[in-house]
Amino acid sequence: MTNKQNEGRGRGGMGKDEGGRMKDENRAGQAGVIARYREYLPVSATTPVVSLGEGGTPLLHSPRLSAAVGRGCEVFVKYEGLNPTGSFKDRGMTVAVSKALERGAGTLICASTGNTSASAAAYAARAGMRCAVVLPAGKIASGKLVQAIAYGARIVAIEGNFDQALEIVRALGAGEEFAIVNSINPDRIAGQKTAAFEIVDELGDAPELHLLPVGNAGNITAYWQGYEEYGAAGKASVRTRMIGFQAAGAAPIFHGEVVARPETIATAIRIGNPAGWAQATRAVQESKGLIDIVSDEEILAAQSWLASAEGIFVEPASAAPIAGLLRAGQGITESRFGASSIPDGCQIVCTVTGHGLKDPEAIRSAADRPQSVAPNEAEVWRAINSA
């Protein structure tokens, strides 16, 4: 394995030019996904690009996850929490907002479980546009809500769930006043597929397996589209199997029926009727993949394990594929995705979609409160080494 694979892709380095001024060593990555992958995106030379330098997120080799799977497999984590607003949504938002601005839209609108609202609000601010966000009251992680407020969005909380919020947004977006920037907007999917391009560029080919959380189901479609497009361009030869994980209490695709009252600690995937259901099903079928479920207990255990074992802190929803992979590594056979689903010696990529600071409540509530001690060396040493 190369050092490049081991260390993953960074955010780009800074050096000095001949005049001593700071210069960007990785302009394409810093400029954002449109600059890097323009030929694969629905933009033209006249499209006004709205970017915050999204993309170029690390693809980290995970030695302990690899060991947990065993059998010569290599596991990589695509750490999307290092996008500008802390989630994968920024990849699609740069394209959606750029196109909305090109079409002359004045106000963006979205329904959200949190991450879309933060991203839409940030890119609206960058573009000088208004942003309206419709949220399910009391169901949004505090870190995400604070972001939308800080970026200046107009926030409307409804006494309902995400699916009802999206219905309202669809109705309002049917007119000319608002531009919808949820993943029902194909420009969002176009931007999000660039993560698959980055993975192939980094590994030299597509991985055999790609695991990711599934909520509104746009991202699994986007990755599959990206792998297929790179395959058609001759840049990838492996046909990746797409493996999606839903929370057990919010698993409509897994069960094949709408969940009227979805419930899970993983707020980002607390969705009972995904807008991208049909497209996600097609991606799973075409890739010979599958959808599985994990419990909230498995999600929280995986979130804690990934942080303490690999130094990668993610929000609960992001830990869903990690939970599924750890379970498969234990040889549990009752699940759809088990040890038999993993070929010997294969490469596996897990996308973790959001940073842990987006939704830290579960970790915070489970942690012991630090005890204060006297300000001297002996007491501090004793506290460090106490059982």
Q: What is the chain's pLDDT, residue by residue, as a tens digit (387 residues)?
A: 443 344 433 333 333 344 333 333 334 446 899 999 999 999 999 999 999 999 999 999 999 999 999 999 999 999 999 999 999 999 999 999 999 999 999 999 999 989 999 999 999 999 999 999 999 998 888 889 999 999 999 999 999 999 999 999 999 999 889 999 999 999 999 999 999 999 999 999 999 999 999 999 999 999 999 999 999 999 999 999 999 999 999 999 999 999 999 999 999 999 999 999 999 999 999 999 999 999 999 999 999 999 999 999 999 999 999 999 999 999 877 799 999 999 999 999 999 999 999 998 888 888 888 889 999 999 999 999 986
Residues whose CB is less than 8 angstroms from the CB of residue 3 and which lie 6 or more positions away in sequence, other chains included: none
- Chain centre distance of CA 298: 19
Residue 229: exposure state from Cβ atoms within 10 A (0-12, 13-18, ≥19): middle
Please name the CATH architecture into which domain 90-185 falls.
3-Layer(aba) Sandwich (3.40)
Output the pLDDT for position 274. 95
Interaxial angle between packed helices 194-203 and 218-232, expressed in degrees from 0 to 180 and rounded to the nearest 10: 50
Nearest to 182 by CA among 243, 122, 115: 115
How is the chain split into domains, by residue range?
A: 20-88+188-360, 90-185
Contact (Cβ atoms closer than 8 angstroms) between residue 270 and residue 139? yes
Contact (Cβ atoms closer than 8 angstroms) between residue 239 and residue 217? no
Q: List residues bridging with 281 in a β-sheet.
A: none
Q: What is the pTM of this model?
A: 0.89
Q: How far apart are CA 153 and CA 267, in angstroms?
A: 20
H or E, element range at 164: helix 162-173
Triad 138, 140, 142: Cα angle to 5°: 100
- On the question of a common fold for 20-88+188-360 and 90-185, the answer reads yes
Statement: 20-88+188-360 belongs to CATH 3.40.50.12280? no
Q: How far apart are CA 132 and CA 130, in angstroms?
A: 7
Output the pLDDT for position 333. 74
